[in-house]
Structure formats: structure tokens, C-alpha cells
Amino acid sequence: MRVIVNGACGRMGKEVVRLVESGFEGSSLAAAVDKFGSGDILTSFDDVKAEADVIVDFSNPSALPGLLSYAQSRNIPLVIATTGYSQEELADIRKASENIPVFLSFNMSLGIALLVRMAKQAAAVFKDADVEIVEIHHNRKLDSPSGTALMLAEAVKEVRPDAEFVYGRSGSHRREKNEIGIHSLRMGNITGEHDVIVSTDTQTITLKHEVHDRALLAEGALSAAAFLVGKPAGMYSMEDILKD
């Protein structure tokens, strides 16, 4: 599996390059791309000459147009692990998936995929429970709330169609029953923690996922890449890997 890593100078991009060079999932490095690159790291897809089987993207939403254009022009499957996209950018990704296989997940952890499934199930079983989502990340993370927190909230909304997202709390007013509270903390060097709290008047269930090492996310992205190679055009997610 020949891999192009986009965003190769970032914290996650470096982890993916390291794993690819170690041969994880039978991978080899076709090219490393980053606009801040130098030396062996290319600054543009225009400079990529090697053949590739898949692209793994841990970059920035600003890189999306060039990424989608290159992947579609070369008919290369694309794993997108970048977060912070606007609704318009997500629509562009979905449009691209009509032409190439696209794996999109705001968290590449299989554990998070299970957390999403369990959060949805808990919200369905405890129909009248209050649901709050708390996410904690390092103080350098740009987007807030995290893409994973939004993914969890959307999963709960699937079984509670009238739910409304409330980002943080301030002022003086009662909590409405249809609210899903989403709270973000930024501090220190925390890689990522997500809690889904489901609470009734008589009991509370807390579902928690904690990342101990960023390598987990790089491994998940390469596992997603191996899954994606050979698939027909379409949108894929961690749920598809769970089903597979």
C-alpha cells in the first residue's frame, strides 16, 4: 500500500509518516506533502511524481481544495482525518465521494467508534435523560468543540431528532429537556478525552474515552487506508470498519 501523507509536518502527520516508514499495515511512503515542507517533504501536490494507492490527510481545512482536486484527478482513495470543516467544505467532500472512495472521520480511534455507538444506544434507552458531552484537549488545538464531540452529539441526535446543541452554559435560565450540552476545555498537553454523560433523576451513566498516545490515531488512519483501498466510490466511516 503506497501512501501519500498530507500534512506531514504536523504532529499527527509526523506520526503517520513514522508508521508508514515502519511498514505498518504493509504500507510504504509514496510522498510526504506539507506547505511548510522542505527537503524530502514536498510543498505541493504538483510536485508529487510517485504512484500511490491512497492519501492520508492530517492537515488543515485550507488545504481541502487542492487535496480533493488532486485525489479526484488521479482517482486515488482519500482518508480525511482533518477537523474544523465548514458545512460548505463538508459538502465538497461528499461531492468528491461520488467520484472516489472517501473515508471521513473526525477521530480515527476504533474506541471512539464504539463510544459513538454506545452513546446513541444509551440516549435511546434513557429517552428522558439529560445528555452532556465534555471534551478536553491540549491548549494548541484550534477548533472548538472538537470534531469528535460533534460526532457524538450527532449520533445522539439520530435517536432524538428534536435535540438542540448548546455550546457551554452562561446566564440564568433552566436547562431544556431537548438540549445536548457540549463543553470544551483546552489545557496542558492532553491528547484527547471525551465524556458522554447520560443522567436521569435517579442514576447517571458516564461513557469515557481517553487517548494515551497519538500513535493510536495514526494507526487508525492507516487501518482506514488499508480498508479503503479497492473500495468503490462513496463515503465511508469508522462504522463501516466496525461492520466489516
User: What are φ and ψ of residue 176, in 5° steps?
Assistant: -85, 150
For a pLDDT cut of 90, what percent of the chain falls above it?
83
As annotated, the active-site residues are 137, 141
Spatial separation of the C-alpha atoms in residues 189 and 44, rounded to whole Å: 30
Report the pLDDT value the prediction gives residue 215, as an integer from 0 to 100: 87
Round the average pLDDT of the chain to a whole number and report it. Answer: 94
- Conformation bin of residue 167: beta by default, left when phi > 0, alpha when psi is -120 to 50: beta
Quote the pLDDT of residue 134: 98
**Per-residue pLDDT at 239:** 85
**At CA 85, angle to CA 132 and CA 198, rounded to 5?**
10
Domain ranges for the chain, please list them. 2-108+214-243, 110-210
Name the nearest CA neighbour of 10 among 76, 50, 45, 56. Answer: 56
Q: What is the DSSP string of 39-104?
A: TTEESSGGG--S--SEEEE-S-GGGHHHHHHHHHHHT--EEE------HHHHHHHHHHTTTSEEEE
Q: What is the pLDDT of residue 38?
A: 85
- For residue 173, pLDDT over 90 is answered with no
What homologous superfamily is domain 2-108+214-243 in, according to CATH?
NAD(P)-binding Rossmann-like Domain (3.40.50.720)
Q: How confident is the model at residue 39 (pLDDT cuts 50, 70, 90)?
A: confident
The confidence score (pLDDT) of residue 152 equals 96
- What pLDDT does residue 107 have? 83
Among 3.40.50.720, 1.10.760.10, 3.40.50.11930, 3.30.360.10, name the CATH number for the domain at 110-210.
3.30.360.10
What average pLDDT does this structure show over 187-202? 96
Residue 228 pLDDT class (50, 70, 90 cuts): very high
